[in-house]
Structure 1
Amino acid sequence: MPEEKVLRLHDVWRTCNKIRAAVFRIGLDLWEYYKPLDPDNRCLISESKFISVLAGPLKGVIGLSDKEICDLTDYFRIQDGRILYSQFCEIIHENIPNFGKNKPLITGLEWEDPLHVNVLSCTETRKLNLIITQIAVLVNKRKIALRPYFQDYELIAKNVGTITLAHFGRVLKFLGIVLGAEEFRLLVKRFAKDAYTVNYVAFLKAIDEVQCYLDEHGMMSFSGDLLEQFPGRIITVELPKLPRPEIGKVMPSQVFGRQTVFHPVMEPTKEAMSTLEVIKRIQRHILEHRIRIHDFFKDFEYLNDSKMTVSQFRRALDALQISSLGRLWLVEPEVDALIALYKDPDDPNRVCWRTFEDDINHVFTVKGLDKLPNLRVESPPEEIAELSRRGTSNWQCEPKSIRDLCEDVLQRIRQRVEERRILLKQFFKDYDRHNRGHVTRTQLRQVLITATILLSPEEVFALERRYNNDLGFNYIQFLQELESQPIVEPLYLRMLEDKKRINAEKPPSEPSEDETNIVLILAKIKAKIVRERIKVLEFMRQFDTHNHLVIERVDFIRGLDQFRCGLTPAEVDTITKAFQASTKPEFIEYVRFAKVVEEAVVTGGLEKVPLLVPLQHVPSEASDKTFLNFDERQTDYDKENIGTVSKDRLIKALSVRRMLELITNKELDALHKCFSIERGGRLEINYRAFLRALHLLQENKKAVPF
């Protein structure tokens, strides 16, 4: 298709530019590699020879991937399968610019000038003049000779009038010249010689010119200060309130917040965390490393009064790796705020470390949990589990332009990865030797270049604002969001909704008459007691530890559940109301309930009435599942009334009472064989003998001792 052809040519042209850059940089000649492979000078070689050059001696020099080599081979192949290498070499070498034919745009004398300075805007020049004037006044007042401090470095480095940015900043700090980040940036921008050095000769000349101007015009006193009557005396280096034409014209660098490339002192200082956030960070640190705080603090407590001095508290924090030098890095104001929070109100020189321990251990459990058995403890708490690393920006508070740009970049990277089948995790793993899940900013750019993902500085900055923290670029989170799949609606959603509707709890309905009839409910319980010989009193007595003959309603219901009588909530409510204690509404007289139920098995007080014959309670074996209606009860399979039926009718009779499913076919054959008699040339079952045997078994079941 046309789109695929344009994309293929674009990839081949990009590969040719990559080879052309290597040829221009190293001075490589491809003809020297391909000419010996073509002794007949036909400008054609085989595919294997063409690939052997790019994948052999030139692979490490140019750095082509196998995919790029295959694209070049396919592009320069003719119909018979050979490669037209001459056209390939001509495309590479004829497009290399020859800069020797061009005239130089500059003579180079500008950089050779020892007093060369860079051009600034009008606003920056005015502010820089104020800064230099302040420095000149300070130097003149203290009688400082600046040149020897810079020349000492030049004697060693031989930089011919230049000095590095780091040494330039150290000299100014040593001399007591305190500058802000913006002021230092203007100095470097004005007197920068190249990417990392400063022309200190031009800087000193500017200081001398200001000092000479102040002396010539009589603006300096004998003490080195500016005269009071001087109307233009400098009070501060801040710009005066003048019209600002640049306001309202936002530059791209201001929109995307490009980071400065100057000295680290120019970066804005981070504000200290709040004390609550410091405690959360410590809890996260203790949770991750499973540290017991008590083991580190108890050695400093000599009087066993749960207190220690401030210095001992600091030493204990250092042992926990919680300090300005430990694994959990805290600035001094944060440590001081933590100490102030837990100071002893009676002795300001001591710290209540056990209170600190209890607060930190909340991440594991709650103190005094044995007194609160119903308290639900969440370990770790949600705010600790979701606590982001220090240095992570609040993404929702970032400008909308940066957030939209970051989403577009992620979408582009996702499409690139899917098209090229790139495994980005392995590229990051090569730089993450200690498996920390983070890489540096430089390593991030190297990974993107290696994976041929070309992004602008603004796009890379948007990614850094989203995934950077104090450890670097969080590539684990980046890959998770990059590889996340969109949430789709499941195909079985309708079936899932039907099952939820079927399994949903039914709303409570009005109790029926049987559920409120205490006689029927007790009969159901008695039938269960007779069949399984359950001792009701033993089940209930375990809840009456003080032998009060009553138990709580909840314990009574719990005991009924152990009987497995299949009572409904309405039936349970009816029983509890019937046996409720008169003086204690929330308690049940379980002894009276046990006597009433166990009458089905044993009659109490027989020793007083020896002539009384107790009646045995015979529970009905029928249930809702085995109940027969009128038509089913009138079904007669022995219409001749001869006492025998065929095997088919036996199966039908057992099926009606749902007894056939209780026995196997082999057991059915044995039953038919046991009770069969021969009649009319076939075997028929004597159902009267069969029913008599069932009756005997039922009577024997009643005679079993309790």
Structure 2
Amino acid sequence: MPEEQKILRLQDVWRTCNKIRAAIFRVGFNLWDFYKPLDPNNNCLISESKFISVLAGPLKDQIGLSDKEICDLADYFRVQDGRIFYTQFCQIIHDSAPEFDKNEPLVTGLEWEDLEHLNRISATEHRKLCLILTQIAVLVNKRKLVLRPYFQDYELIAKNAGTITFTHFGRILQFLGIVLGSEEFCLLVKRFAKDAYTINYVAFLKAIDEIQSYFDKHQMLALGGELLDQFPGRIITAELPKLPRPEIGKVMPSKVSGKQAVFHPVMEEQRSTMPLMEVIQRIQRHIFENRIRISEFFKNFDALNTGKTTISNFKRGLDGLQISSLGRLYLAETEIDALVTLYKDPNDPDRVLFTVKELEKLPTLKVEVPPKEIAELSRKGASRWQCEGRDIRDLCEKTLLKIRHRVEERRILIKQFFKDYDRHNKGHVSRSQLRQVLSIAAVLLSEEEEFALERRYNNDLGFNYNWFLKELEAQRIEEPLYHSMIKEKRQINAEKPPPEVTAEETNIVLILAKIKAKVVRERIKVIEFMRQYDVHNEHIIKRTEFLRGLDQLRCNLTCTEMGTIMDIFQSPLRPDCIDYVKFAEVVEEAVTLGSLERAPCLVPVQHVPSEASPKTFLNFDERHMVTMAIGKLSKIQQPNLEELFKNYDKENIGTVSKECLIKVLSIRRMLELITNRELDAVHKCFSLKRDTRLEIDYRAFLRALYLMQENRKYLPF
């Protein structure tokens, strides 16, 4: 037989049949109705194609069988001639289905309507309940009380047929002076509860009457209603104080220097319960380290999504989180009970709250994962090092220095000795193994020094040698070399401080002259740049819009200069707006004057923009050098410099760079007549600002040479 031949298993066929039964129970169809019409001769056999056409045709969506499952059914019910025994298949599917409609009900519902119905409780709870009911019966006999009328008064109003709510039951007991603890009241509710919120007071009164009848039958009560002293089973009240325990707090482990304590320090925390907040922090660290979504373990016990669950289910959820006395995170029973008490629902003592809702109302809440106190939480069993005595801490530091000096002196790799004893790589060794490692490494320590090391590095798993080696091999932190490079880069890329304000930036005359020069050269109408922001034609615009208009003028003004303009032309009635019309009139005076019709004899004067700038200002010595240099250059007769300058002025704008000036003067051998200082003075005198550089106005330079040559003709020498 080939190895790839599939083996038909009975388990697979039976699973497919159960799948069909489930579909029949859910939808309610009958297989006989589909196969009977395909067998007109009633032979109980049909062809394989007809058998498959039913399961893969009209019933495919209802049952959901795969092709393999249909083929397995056909192989299983096939006879020798290749046809399918469909009647056997239908009998297996339909005859084995239970018919619940033909069975009689096991519960009639009358059990719950029994007025004396009681809930089942454990033997321990039943014994405690009997003591409570006995105390109530003694109190009723002593005060000659009749309980039934108090409960019947409520029933006349509510008509609950023998039941009363929890709150009214507690009020009646309080009114009668029957004081019960919370656990005792919960036990009564658990025993006599009828449904989710009522108590069967008829059964409660019957239990009290039975106890009173037992007292009368056996003559156990005195004339005043108290129990007789000779009664051997007299009730022991739970309110009596406990017997004194003088040994508690008297036996303390010795902490004499050089001697071990009676109990190891790791065991001290196990014998005494941890603080509640430390228990919660250890649970948070356990959840964070194991990446557990804690809500998923409690939702299965909260079908109605109320955020509450019973105490037993709460403990089951903790056990699922591996938090118990047998789980990965050890917690004592007293610590678990403290958690239950902390999160117990105040309105329902039998349930525990486990969710905190409405966190979506704090979208800006910054969650620190994990919190600092969780990340720095020491392992269980470790001592609180900051709370230890100063002598122990100083001795531990001296011991570490001693071991470090010994290891560095002998070049010992002490970590390998610990690894030999830590086969499971837990990072811990026992106390005896620690001493063996120190002996192998020839590190001799006294008992006091070993005790100090154990107080520092021991926990519930043993000696934490990873932490010990980390502090033992710690080196002084040195600043990386690249920090200096980063510091230099930051200084280079840092924002430069704003330049100091000069007197020229606050002089409104110079600022307006700069703007007027721009207007005269390029024939700009300033008001057109500002009017587009004045929608309501108020002749004023906001400061931000005024700055936009100035930026479109491209006058290269600094922030201080623009602030000076806005302070001068600020609107008197609206400080946040600028009178742009007045500003435009002042600037456009450089081109034309307004209201000339009122002064027909006035002759307007054209504004001539100055090309001077602070970079081209000449002092007395520089002006003298320029005069001497021009005088030397004018001695050359007809140098024809203009054609040479035009060769370098491709755009015919009248300016060339300083390099071009040097080339032109070199060609005519005029550069030899002047010094470098005189050349710099000439360039500075005839320079104009082009973008960010200075270029010489060669036309003005040639005009000065021409004037000097003409004046030389009329000089006497």
TM-score by length of structure 2 reads 0.39
TM-score by length of structure 1 reads 0.40
- Who wins on radius of gyration, i.e. which is larger? 2
